[in-house]
Amino acid sequence: MSIARTSKLVTMAQAAAMVADGARIALGGLSVYQHPMAFAHELVRQGRRGLTSVGVLNGPELDLLIGAGCVIRVETSYVGLEKFGLAPNFRRAVENGLVEAEFYSEMAAFDRFRASEDGLAFAVSKALAGTDVAAENPKIVPFDCPITGTRLSAFPSAEPDVAVIHAVAADEYGNVLLPTRHLLPQSFDMIVARSTQTLIVTAERIISNAEVRRNPHLTGVPGFRVAAVVEAPYGAHPCHSLDANEIDDLHFAEYVEAARSQAGFEAYLDRYVRGTSDHAGYLTEIGEGRLASLRSADAA
């Protein structure tokens, strides 16, 4: 007997509406790779406020949300744009007291998601004792191991209310394909996907369930874990997206220049985000020629 399944395919606007003001949100990807940028844009369009971002190596997705006034608290190990420099909106907001920042080491930030994945309230490290990270973060609590007596540190799990990842492909039921050849950002996304009860997936393309069944070994996230799936070609732009597109260096340069001041960034938002009705409008503003030049040689 076959079991009827319900399509989880929704619009970007419908998916973003699942994030409430004041929510704890985890956006997948690392540094300048694989972030769900189109989803972040839609949160800005909808005027989301009071968000707490929990992550590991955050980049333009978080800097953009901070510049748009969506985020009031950040829990991470890093916010920056890698070879493109600092994250201007993040730095300005923290210096001006508009955003509260809670820092962990990179590995501890990873372990917070692993703890959530395992249903634990906290993670443990033996590498934080005596560091400035532990000294400056009251959430990191020292204790003695009850087995060995070794001095350890405990810190809270990530516990995102909503997590969002960007994938190369998914079917309408939420089954997400993870290419055999993948890198750390995609591996992190799999951990993020298992750290929450509400997972939203944006995908470069929506494929048939038959294609998923022909390649069961590529299913990185099973559909039952996914609350909503959205088709979003170039959904990570200007970031790199595995088997889809390369980094858009020119757009990153434009972004950084605009973010040097709040006024400049408001103009950027007015052109590319608030001034476009949806992701398709954003892609139109970027330009078909530019997008085509970024298409990965491995793109399907």
The whole-number pLDDT of residue 298 equals 66
CB-count exposure of residue 122 (10 Å: 0-12, 13-18, 19+)? middle
Rounded average pLDDT over 67-92: 97
Q: How far apart are the first and last CA of the chain?
A: 34
The whole-number pLDDT of residue 299 equals 63
**CA-to-CA distance for 65 and 36, rounded, in angstroms?**
12
Rounded average pLDDT over 66-76: 98
The ranges of the chain annotated as CATH 3.40.1080.10 are: 12-103+159-294
Stronger pLDDT, 126 or 130, i.e. the higher one: 126
270 sits in which H/E element = helix 262-272
Rounded average pLDDT over 133-155: 95
Q: Is the pLDDT of residue 4 over 80?
A: no
Q: In whole numbers, what is the pLDDT of the chain averaged over residues? A: 95
Q: Tokens at residue 10, please?
A: 């929704």
Contact 181, 220 (CB under 8 A): no
Confidence of residue 1 (pLDDT cuts 50, 70, 90): very low
Stronger pLDDT, 177 or 2, i.e. the higher one: 177
Give the homologous superfamily in CATH for domain 12-103+159-294: Glutaconate Coenzyme A-transferase (3.40.1080.10)
The whole-number pLDDT of residue 2 equals 59
Within 10 angstroms of residue 4's Cβ, the number of other Cβ atoms is 4
For residue 179, whether the previous peptide bond is cis, meaning omega lies within 30 degrees of 0, is no
Place of tokens 């190369």: 168
Contact 229, 221 (CB under 8 A): no
Contact 19, 70 (CB under 8 A): no
Amino acid identity of residue 69, one-letter, is: G
Confidence of residue 3 (pLDDT cuts 50, 70, 90): low
Q: Is the pLDDT of residue 58 over 70?
A: yes
